[in-house]
């Protein structure tokens, strides 16, 4: 799986801010997108601490957490970064300092739309250095059951594609499937405004734990037994589109562009992270990385990215056939 130069790197022309409150902790927060130099990467900075801490948005800094993506460094963390990361990666912003004065970005409407609009308002400019792209040539999988897993393989079109099968069985959320080539226009037009969704029973559990107390059906899609509550869908298949949006944000934690077909079935953040670790662990990736001088975003000691638990079994069930079928799913 070789690394190659794909395009020139990009950053913002000027600063842009988004304010609101966190989805889980409910804290008021302002997030600021700031321009950054070549090879800086995406780095979050907690500016509300006595001494600000910078945390690179890389798989090396991801810590386990249910329902979201969390990065941590030097005792500081930022939770629920996936929608911010999706907006940056979807619009191909490679270098950005994301300054934030709380442990969690604004929830906004539960999608990436507000972040994407802030980025476009700031303007995107081309830089002098080239961006590296990871071309997937092997078939890698991480699977938990016959219906839950994620895989990557070479793309026939030599592009970055994500297919997702969303099948929760009987219930208010119907089966949905979609396969998209991820480009800035596709991301903004077809994914950016797709919102987080939960079941009504999950909302009750979260609030019982003291989480999501300021959340409303305006910033998260809530499905009751008879369908969506106090809201309406922006797309008939908005749920699977949001899952693809989450994949865009999580896969960006590799730190490079991607060329390949990614296929998921009922995958979540944890499985997405494990696939990124598998890619990082591949011998071809490591050997290819030695050919390039990659500048670290900040002066930190990166931990080993892969542990034994990330070595996934192959699909050994009908899931492999469901994954293969995505090549025929409508776009």
Cα–Cα distance, 297 to 300 (Å, whole number): 9
53-83: burial string, b at 16+ Cβ within 10 Å, e else: bbbbbbbbbbeebebbbbbebeebbbbbbbb
Structure tokens at 267: 């995958």
* CA within 13 Å, CB half, 193: 11
- Bridge partners for 131 per DSSP: 7
Cβ neighbours of 131 (radius 10 Å): 19
Looking at the chain, which runs of residues are DSSP E strands?
3-12, 16-21, 28-35, 42-46, 53-56, 62-63, 70-73, 76-79, 96-100, 124-135, 140-143, 149-153, 160-166, 176-181, 197-199, 221-224, 227-228, 257-265
In sequence order, what are the beta bridge partners of 132? Answer: 5
The conformation of residue 188, written as its DSSP 8-state character, comes to: I
CB count, 10 Å around CB of 284? 16
Catalytic residues: 269
For 29, the token pair is 């927060």
Q: How far is Cα 274 from Cα 254, in angstroms, rounded to an integer?
A: 11
In the structure encoding, which two tokens stand for residue 71, read together? 């990065």
Backbone phi, psi, residue 172, to 5°: -75, -20
Alpha helices in 23-174 (DSSP H): 82-90, 113-122
């Amino acid at each position: 799986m070789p690394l190659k130069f794909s395009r020139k790197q990009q950053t913002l022309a000027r600063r842009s801010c988004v304010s609101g409150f966190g989805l889980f902790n409910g804290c008021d927060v302002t997030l600021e997108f700031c321009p950054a130099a070549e090879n800086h990467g995406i780095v979050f900075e907690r500016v509300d601490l006595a001494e600000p801490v910078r945390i690179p948005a890389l798989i090396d800094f991801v810590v386990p957490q249910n329902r979201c993506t969390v990065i941590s460094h030097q005792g500081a963390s930022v939770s629920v970064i996936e929608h911010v990361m999706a907006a940056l990666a979807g619009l191909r912003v490679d270098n950005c300092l994301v300054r934030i004065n709380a442990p969690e970005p604004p929830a906004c409407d539960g999608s990436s739309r507000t972040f994407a609009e802030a980025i476009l308002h700031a303007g995107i400019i081309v830089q002098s250095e080239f961006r590296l792209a990871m071309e997937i040539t092997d078939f890698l999988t991480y699977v938990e059951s016959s219906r839950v897993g994620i895989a990557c393989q070479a793309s026939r079109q030599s592009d970055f594609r994500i297919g997702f099968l969303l099948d929760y069985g009987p219930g208010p959320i119907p089966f949905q499937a979609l396969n998209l080539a991820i480009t800035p226009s596709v991301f903004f037009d077809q994914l950016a405004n797709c919102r987080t969704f939960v079941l009504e029973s999950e909302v009750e559990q979260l609030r019982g734990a003291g989480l999501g107390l300021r959340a409303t059906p305006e910033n998260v899609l809530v499905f009751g037994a008879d369908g969506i509550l106090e809201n309406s869908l922006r797309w008939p298949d908005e749920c699977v589109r949001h899952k693809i949006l989450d994949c865009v944000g999580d896969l960006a934690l590799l730190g490079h562009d991607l060329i390949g077909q990614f296929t998921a079935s009922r995958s979540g953040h944890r499985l997405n992270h494990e696939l990124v670790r598998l890619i990082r662990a591949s011998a071809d990736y490591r050997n290819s990385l030695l050919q390039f001088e990659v500048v670290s975003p900040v002066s930190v000691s990166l931990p080993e990215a892969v542990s034994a638990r990330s070595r996934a079994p192959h699909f050994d069930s009908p899931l492999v056939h469901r994954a293969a079928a995505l090549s025929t799913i409508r776009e």
